[in-house]
Amino acid sequence: MPTNRQILLDNRPEGEARLSNFKLVSSETPALQEGEVLVRHHYLSLDPYMRGRMNDAKSYAACQPLGEVFQGGTVGEVVESRHPRYAVGDKVVGFGGWQEWSVVDAGKPGMLKKVDTTHVPLSYYLGAVGMPGVTAWYGLVKIIEPKPGETITVSAATGAVGSALGALAKARGCRVVGIAGGPEKCRYATDELGFDACIDYRQHPDVKSLSRALKEACPDGIDGHFENVGGYVLDAVLLRTNAFARIALCGMIAGYDGQPLPMANPQLLLVNRIKLQGFIVSEHMEVWPEALAELGGLVAAGKLRPRETVAQGIESAPEAFLGLLKGRNFGKQLVKLI
Protein backbone atom coordinates (compact mmCIF):
# COMPACT_ATOMS: atom_id res chain seq x y z
CA MET A 1 0.00 0.00 0.00
CA PRO A 2 1.32 3.48 -0.86
CA THR A 3 2.75 6.07 1.50
CA ASN A 4 0.22 8.88 1.85
CA ARG A 5 1.14 12.54 2.30
CA GLN A 6 -1.49 14.51 4.19
CA ILE A 7 -2.16 18.07 5.39
CA LEU A 8 -3.46 18.32 8.97
CA LEU A 9 -4.92 21.26 10.86
CA ASP A 10 -2.21 21.64 13.50
CA ASN A 11 -3.61 24.61 15.45
CA ARG A 12 -6.44 27.11 15.17
CA PRO A 13 -5.92 30.59 13.72
CA GLU A 14 -6.12 33.74 15.77
CA GLY A 15 -7.36 36.34 13.31
CA GLU A 16 -6.05 35.59 9.83
CA ALA A 17 -5.28 32.01 8.87
CA ARG A 18 -1.53 31.35 8.42
CA LEU A 19 0.71 28.66 6.97
CA SER A 20 1.72 27.75 10.53
CA ASN A 21 -1.84 26.50 11.17
CA PHE A 22 -1.16 23.52 8.88
CA LYS A 23 1.19 20.55 9.06
CA LEU A 24 2.39 18.18 6.33
CA VAL A 25 2.81 14.55 7.43
CA SER A 26 3.24 11.12 5.85
CA SER A 27 1.46 7.94 6.88
CA GLU A 28 1.09 4.39 5.66
CA THR A 29 -2.15 3.62 3.81
CA PRO A 30 -3.97 0.74 5.52
CA ALA A 31 -4.79 -2.48 3.66
CA LEU A 32 -8.30 -2.68 2.26
CA GLN A 33 -11.09 -4.41 4.14
CA GLU A 34 -14.12 -5.97 2.48
CA GLY A 35 -16.34 -3.24 0.96
CA GLU A 36 -13.56 -0.65 0.75
CA VAL A 37 -11.82 0.96 -2.23
CA LEU A 38 -8.49 2.73 -2.56
CA VAL A 39 -8.71 6.06 -4.40
CA ARG A 40 -5.75 7.96 -5.85
CA HIS A 41 -6.77 11.61 -5.68
CA HIS A 42 -6.14 13.61 -8.84
CA TYR A 43 -7.44 16.96 -7.53
CA LEU A 44 -8.54 18.35 -4.21
CA SER A 45 -10.91 21.27 -3.81
CA LEU A 46 -10.18 24.50 -1.95
CA ASP A 47 -13.29 26.44 -0.92
CA PRO A 48 -13.98 29.56 1.18
CA TYR A 49 -16.23 27.69 3.63
CA MET A 50 -13.16 25.82 4.89
CA ARG A 51 -11.92 28.95 6.65
CA GLY A 52 -14.95 29.05 8.93
CA ARG A 53 -14.46 25.41 9.89
CA MET A 54 -10.94 26.16 11.13
CA ASN A 55 -12.45 28.10 14.05
CA ASP A 56 -13.67 26.43 17.22
CA ALA A 57 -16.98 28.26 17.07
CA LYS A 58 -20.65 27.48 16.63
CA SER A 59 -21.55 27.09 12.98
CA TYR A 60 -23.79 25.08 10.68
CA ALA A 61 -21.19 22.28 10.56
CA ALA A 62 -18.78 20.77 13.05
CA CYS A 63 -15.41 22.47 13.17
CA GLN A 64 -12.35 20.85 11.61
CA PRO A 65 -10.75 18.61 14.28
CA LEU A 66 -7.17 19.38 15.24
CA GLY A 67 -4.55 16.84 14.27
CA GLU A 68 -6.69 15.28 11.56
CA VAL A 69 -6.64 15.44 7.75
CA PHE A 70 -8.11 18.75 6.61
CA GLN A 71 -11.52 17.95 5.16
CA GLY A 72 -12.61 18.74 1.61
CA GLY A 73 -13.82 17.45 -1.73
CA THR A 74 -11.69 15.30 -4.01
CA VAL A 75 -11.83 13.62 -7.41
CA GLY A 76 -9.71 10.71 -8.44
CA GLU A 77 -9.44 7.16 -9.69
CA VAL A 78 -10.09 3.80 -8.08
CA VAL A 79 -6.79 1.87 -8.05
CA GLU A 80 -7.90 -1.09 -5.92
CA SER A 81 -11.38 -2.29 -5.02
CA ARG A 82 -13.01 -4.75 -2.67
CA HIS A 83 -16.51 -3.50 -3.47
CA PRO A 84 -18.63 -4.94 -6.31
CA ARG A 85 -19.90 -1.55 -7.57
CA TYR A 86 -16.44 -0.10 -8.14
CA ALA A 87 -13.78 -1.29 -10.56
CA VAL A 88 -10.16 -0.31 -11.00
CA GLY A 89 -10.07 2.73 -13.30
CA ASP A 90 -13.44 4.18 -12.25
CA LYS A 91 -13.34 7.96 -11.91
CA VAL A 92 -14.96 9.09 -8.68
CA VAL A 93 -15.83 12.17 -6.65
CA GLY A 94 -15.81 12.09 -2.85
CA PHE A 95 -14.79 13.88 0.32
CA GLY A 96 -11.30 12.48 0.72
CA GLY A 97 -9.68 15.58 2.20
CA TRP A 98 -6.23 17.10 1.82
CA GLN A 99 -4.29 13.92 1.13
CA GLU A 100 -2.98 11.99 -1.85
CA TRP A 101 -4.86 8.74 -1.23
CA SER A 102 -7.97 7.67 0.65
CA VAL A 103 -9.45 4.37 1.74
CA VAL A 104 -13.23 4.68 1.42
CA ASP A 105 -16.03 2.53 2.77
CA ALA A 106 -17.88 2.45 -0.54
CA GLY A 107 -20.98 0.90 1.00
CA LYS A 108 -21.85 4.01 3.00
CA PRO A 109 -24.30 6.31 1.18
CA GLY A 110 -22.77 9.53 -0.14
CA MET A 111 -19.14 8.55 0.41
CA LEU A 112 -18.24 8.04 -3.24
CA LYS A 113 -19.84 8.59 -6.63
CA LYS A 114 -18.77 7.46 -10.07
CA VAL A 115 -18.62 10.23 -12.68
CA ASP A 116 -18.51 10.34 -16.48
CA THR A 117 -15.58 12.25 -17.94
CA THR A 118 -16.60 11.78 -21.59
CA HIS A 119 -17.84 15.37 -21.98
CA VAL A 120 -16.99 16.93 -18.61
CA PRO A 121 -13.37 17.07 -17.36
CA LEU A 122 -12.78 15.32 -14.04
CA SER A 123 -11.78 18.53 -12.25
CA TYR A 124 -15.11 20.18 -13.11
CA TYR A 125 -16.84 17.81 -10.68
CA LEU A 126 -15.28 19.89 -7.90
CA GLY A 127 -16.51 23.13 -9.42
CA ALA A 128 -19.06 23.90 -12.10
CA VAL A 129 -20.56 20.39 -12.05
CA GLY A 130 -20.07 19.81 -8.35
CA MET A 131 -20.88 21.38 -5.02
CA PRO A 132 -20.20 25.01 -6.11
CA GLY A 133 -22.39 24.65 -9.18
CA VAL A 134 -25.24 23.12 -7.20
CA THR A 135 -24.85 25.91 -4.64
CA ALA A 136 -25.40 28.47 -7.39
CA TRP A 137 -28.35 26.49 -8.77
CA TYR A 138 -30.12 26.20 -5.43
CA GLY A 139 -29.67 29.85 -4.48
CA LEU A 140 -30.90 31.04 -7.86
CA VAL A 141 -33.72 28.59 -8.56
CA LYS A 142 -35.10 27.97 -5.08
CA ILE A 143 -34.49 31.30 -3.32
CA ILE A 144 -34.17 34.06 -5.93
CA GLU A 145 -36.68 32.38 -8.29
CA PRO A 146 -35.78 34.61 -11.25
CA LYS A 147 -38.16 35.72 -13.95
CA PRO A 148 -37.14 36.61 -17.52
CA GLY A 149 -36.05 40.21 -17.80
CA GLU A 150 -35.13 40.62 -14.14
CA THR A 151 -31.73 41.92 -13.04
CA ILE A 152 -29.63 39.51 -10.98
CA THR A 153 -26.37 40.48 -9.29
CA VAL A 154 -23.70 38.24 -7.75
CA SER A 155 -20.58 39.00 -5.73
CA ALA A 156 -17.36 36.99 -6.25
CA ALA A 157 -18.74 36.69 -9.76
CA THR A 158 -15.84 34.85 -11.39
CA GLY A 159 -15.38 32.20 -8.71
CA ALA A 160 -16.69 28.67 -9.01
CA VAL A 161 -20.11 29.58 -7.60
CA GLY A 162 -20.45 33.00 -9.24
CA SER A 163 -19.55 31.84 -12.74
CA ALA A 164 -22.13 29.05 -12.56
CA LEU A 165 -24.72 31.50 -11.22
CA GLY A 166 -24.15 33.75 -14.22
CA ALA A 167 -24.67 30.98 -16.76
CA LEU A 168 -27.77 29.70 -14.97
CA ALA A 169 -29.32 33.19 -14.75
CA LYS A 170 -28.58 33.98 -18.41
CA ALA A 171 -30.27 30.70 -19.38
CA ARG A 172 -33.38 32.03 -17.64
CA GLY A 173 -33.42 35.27 -19.62
CA CYS A 174 -32.08 37.57 -16.90
CA ARG A 175 -29.79 40.58 -17.02
CA VAL A 176 -26.75 39.48 -14.98
CA VAL A 177 -24.30 41.87 -13.32
CA GLY A 178 -21.23 40.62 -11.50
CA ILE A 179 -18.99 42.11 -8.84
CA ALA A 180 -15.38 40.92 -9.00
CA GLY A 181 -11.85 42.05 -8.16
CA GLY A 182 -9.73 43.42 -11.00
CA PRO A 183 -10.15 44.27 -14.69
CA GLU A 184 -9.05 40.83 -15.91
CA LYS A 185 -11.74 39.08 -13.90
CA CYS A 186 -14.36 41.55 -15.06
CA ARG A 187 -13.38 41.03 -18.71
CA TYR A 188 -13.68 37.28 -18.22
CA ALA A 189 -17.16 37.73 -16.73
CA THR A 190 -18.44 39.72 -19.70
CA ASP A 191 -16.41 38.23 -22.57
CA GLU A 192 -16.44 34.51 -21.66
CA LEU A 193 -19.20 33.99 -19.12
CA GLY A 194 -21.73 36.24 -20.85
CA PHE A 195 -22.42 38.65 -17.98
CA ASP A 196 -24.10 41.85 -19.15
CA ALA A 197 -21.78 43.91 -16.95
CA CYS A 198 -19.21 43.42 -14.22
CA ILE A 199 -18.07 45.92 -11.60
CA ASP A 200 -14.50 45.95 -10.29
CA TYR A 201 -14.94 46.44 -6.55
CA ARG A 202 -11.27 47.42 -6.24
CA GLN A 203 -12.15 50.60 -8.13
CA HIS A 204 -15.06 51.17 -5.73
CA PRO A 205 -13.72 50.59 -2.20
CA ASP A 206 -16.66 52.02 -0.25
CA VAL A 207 -20.44 51.76 -0.13
CA LYS A 208 -21.23 55.03 -1.91
CA SER A 209 -18.87 54.40 -4.81
CA LEU A 210 -19.96 50.80 -5.32
CA SER A 211 -23.61 51.78 -5.06
CA ARG A 212 -23.14 54.41 -7.80
CA ALA A 213 -21.51 51.80 -10.02
CA LEU A 214 -24.40 49.41 -9.38
CA LYS A 215 -26.91 52.13 -10.26
CA GLU A 216 -25.20 52.60 -13.61
CA ALA A 217 -24.95 48.86 -14.33
CA CYS A 218 -28.48 48.12 -13.07
CA PRO A 219 -30.62 51.03 -14.34
CA ASP A 220 -33.82 49.14 -13.50
CA GLY A 221 -32.64 48.22 -10.01
CA ILE A 222 -31.78 44.80 -8.60
CA ASP A 223 -34.43 42.07 -8.39
CA GLY A 224 -32.27 39.23 -7.11
CA HIS A 225 -28.84 39.01 -5.54
CA PHE A 226 -26.52 36.11 -4.71
CA GLU A 227 -24.17 37.03 -1.86
CA ASN A 228 -20.77 35.44 -1.34
CA VAL A 229 -18.90 38.29 0.36
CA GLY A 230 -20.96 40.38 2.78
CA GLY A 231 -19.67 43.61 4.33
CA TYR A 232 -19.88 46.81 2.34
CA VAL A 233 -20.65 44.88 -0.86
CA LEU A 234 -23.99 43.74 0.57
CA ASP A 235 -24.65 47.26 1.91
CA ALA A 236 -24.15 48.70 -1.57
CA VAL A 237 -26.43 46.11 -3.16
CA LEU A 238 -29.20 46.82 -0.64
CA LEU A 239 -29.20 50.48 -1.66
CA ARG A 240 -30.10 49.45 -5.22
CA THR A 241 -32.65 46.70 -4.57
CA ASN A 242 -36.19 46.89 -5.87
CA ALA A 243 -39.29 46.16 -3.82
CA PHE A 244 -39.70 42.45 -3.18
CA ALA A 245 -36.09 41.67 -4.12
CA ARG A 246 -34.74 38.25 -3.11
CA ILE A 247 -31.27 37.65 -1.69
CA ALA A 248 -29.64 34.22 -1.46
CA LEU A 249 -26.99 34.38 1.29
CA CYS A 250 -24.35 31.80 0.48
CA GLY A 251 -21.18 33.13 2.09
CA MET A 252 -19.70 36.10 3.92
CA ILE A 253 -16.01 35.74 3.20
CA ALA A 254 -15.38 39.31 4.38
CA GLY A 255 -15.99 38.07 7.92
CA TYR A 256 -14.23 34.70 7.91
CA ASP A 257 -11.38 35.97 10.08
CA GLY A 258 -13.81 36.55 12.93
CA GLN A 259 -14.51 40.29 12.77
CA PRO A 260 -18.20 41.29 12.95
CA LEU A 261 -19.96 42.41 9.77
CA PRO A 262 -22.58 44.97 10.82
CA MET A 263 -25.20 45.90 8.25
CA ALA A 264 -25.33 49.66 7.54
CA ASN A 265 -29.00 49.96 6.55
CA PRO A 266 -30.98 46.95 7.80
CA GLN A 267 -34.17 48.99 7.54
CA LEU A 268 -33.99 48.49 3.76
CA LEU A 269 -35.00 44.88 4.31
CA LEU A 270 -38.31 46.16 5.62
CA VAL A 271 -38.74 49.17 3.33
CA ASN A 272 -38.24 47.03 0.22
CA ARG A 273 -39.91 43.91 1.68
CA ILE A 274 -36.81 41.92 0.83
CA LYS A 275 -36.54 38.17 1.28
CA LEU A 276 -33.06 37.32 2.56
CA GLN A 277 -32.38 33.63 3.08
CA GLY A 278 -29.21 31.84 4.08
CA PHE A 279 -28.75 28.24 2.97
CA ILE A 280 -26.38 25.29 3.10
CA VAL A 281 -26.44 23.24 -0.08
CA SER A 282 -25.64 19.94 1.66
CA GLU A 283 -29.03 20.17 3.37
CA HIS A 284 -30.79 19.96 -0.01
CA MET A 285 -29.44 16.77 -1.56
CA GLU A 286 -32.82 16.14 -3.23
CA VAL A 287 -32.08 18.83 -5.86
CA TRP A 288 -28.57 17.68 -6.77
CA PRO A 289 -29.51 15.37 -9.68
CA GLU A 290 -31.61 18.05 -11.38
CA ALA A 291 -29.01 20.75 -10.78
CA LEU A 292 -26.08 18.63 -11.97
CA ALA A 293 -27.95 17.63 -15.12
CA GLU A 294 -28.49 21.27 -16.07
CA LEU A 295 -24.95 22.30 -15.17
CA GLY A 296 -23.45 19.44 -17.17
CA GLY A 297 -25.57 20.45 -20.14
CA LEU A 298 -24.38 24.05 -19.93
CA VAL A 299 -20.74 22.91 -19.87
CA ALA A 300 -21.24 20.50 -22.76
CA ALA A 301 -22.97 23.23 -24.79
CA GLY A 302 -20.16 25.71 -24.13
CA LYS A 303 -22.46 28.07 -22.23
CA LEU A 304 -20.52 27.62 -19.00
CA ARG A 305 -16.77 27.89 -19.46
CA PRO A 306 -15.30 27.77 -15.96
CA ARG A 307 -11.76 28.91 -15.25
CA GLU A 308 -9.49 27.05 -12.86
CA THR A 309 -6.47 28.05 -10.84
CA VAL A 310 -4.39 24.95 -10.19
CA ALA A 311 -1.63 24.60 -7.60
CA GLN A 312 0.69 21.60 -7.96
CA GLY A 313 1.34 19.10 -5.19
CA ILE A 314 -0.15 18.44 -1.77
CA GLU A 315 2.44 20.68 -0.10
CA SER A 316 1.06 23.69 -2.02
CA ALA A 317 -2.47 23.38 -0.58
CA PRO A 318 -2.11 25.69 2.47
CA GLU A 319 -0.57 28.57 0.53
CA ALA A 320 -3.09 28.19 -2.30
CA PHE A 321 -5.90 28.21 0.27
CA LEU A 322 -4.65 31.42 1.89
CA GLY A 323 -4.43 32.95 -1.59
CA LEU A 324 -8.04 31.98 -2.24
CA LEU A 325 -9.12 33.86 0.89
CA LYS A 326 -7.35 36.95 -0.49
CA GLY A 327 -8.94 36.62 -3.93
CA ARG A 328 -5.72 35.66 -5.70
CA ASN A 329 -7.33 32.75 -7.55
CA PHE A 330 -9.06 33.07 -10.89
CA GLY A 331 -12.11 30.83 -10.96
CA LYS A 332 -12.14 27.52 -9.10
CA GLN A 333 -9.08 26.89 -6.91
CA LEU A 334 -7.75 23.34 -7.11
CA VAL A 335 -4.66 21.41 -6.09
CA LYS A 336 -3.42 18.84 -8.59
CA LEU A 337 -1.91 15.78 -6.97
CA ILE A 338 -0.73 13.71 -9.95
Tell me: the pLDDT tens digits for 179-207?
Answer: 999 999 999 999 999 999 999 999 999 99
- In this structure, are residues 153 and 178 in contact, taking their beta carbons and an 8 Å threshold? yes
| pLDDT value at residue 241 | 98
Cα 28 to the chain's mean position, in Å?
Answer: 31
- pLDDT tens profile 207-245: 999 999 999 999 999 999 999 999 999 999 999 999 999
Distance CA 282, CA 111 (A): 13
| Residues 6 or more apart whose Cβ sits within 8 Å of residue 14 | none
Whole-number pLDDT of residue 15: 87
Per-residue pLDDT band for 257 (boundaries 50, 70, 90) equals confident
Domains by residue range for the chain, with CATH = 3-127+307-336 (3.90.180.10), 131-282 (3.40.50.720)
**Angle between helices 160-171 and 288-300 in degrees, nearest 10:** 80
d(CA 208, CA 213): 9
Q: For residues 334 and 230, what is the distance between their CA atoms, to the nearest angstrom?
A: 24
67-117 tens-digit pLDDT: 999 999 999 999 999 999 999 999 999 999 999 999 999 988 888 999 999
SS (H, E, C) the chain: CCEEEEEEECCCCCCCCCHHHEEEEEEECCCCCCCEEEEEEEEEEECCHHHHHCCCCCCCCCCCCCCCECCCCEEEEEEEECCCCCCCCCEEEECCCCECEEEEECCCCCCEEECCCCCCCHHHHHCCCCHHHHHHHHHHHHHHCCCCCCEEEEECCCCHHHHHHHHHHHHCCCEEEEEECCHHHHHHHHHCCCCCEEEEHHHCCCHHHHHHHHHHHCCCCEEEEEECCCCHHHHHHHCCEEEEEEEEECCCHHHCCCCCCCCCCCHHHHHCCCEEEECCHHHCHHHHHHHHHHHHHHHHCCCCCCCEEEEECHHHHHHHHHHHHCCCCCCEEEEECC
Whole-angstrom Cα distance, residue 230 to residue 138? 19
- Confidence bin at 321 (pLDDT 50/70/90): very high
Q: What is the pLDDT of residues 46-69, one digit of tens each?
A: 998 899 899 987 777 779 999 999
Residue 248 reports pLDDT greater than 80: yes
Question: Which residues have C-beta within 8 Å of that of residue 130, sequence separation ≥ 6?
Answer: 45, 73, 93, 124
Rounded Cα distance between 10 and 24, Å, is: 9
Query: Which of left, alpha, beta for 177 (phi over 0: left; psi -120 to 50: alpha)?
Result: beta
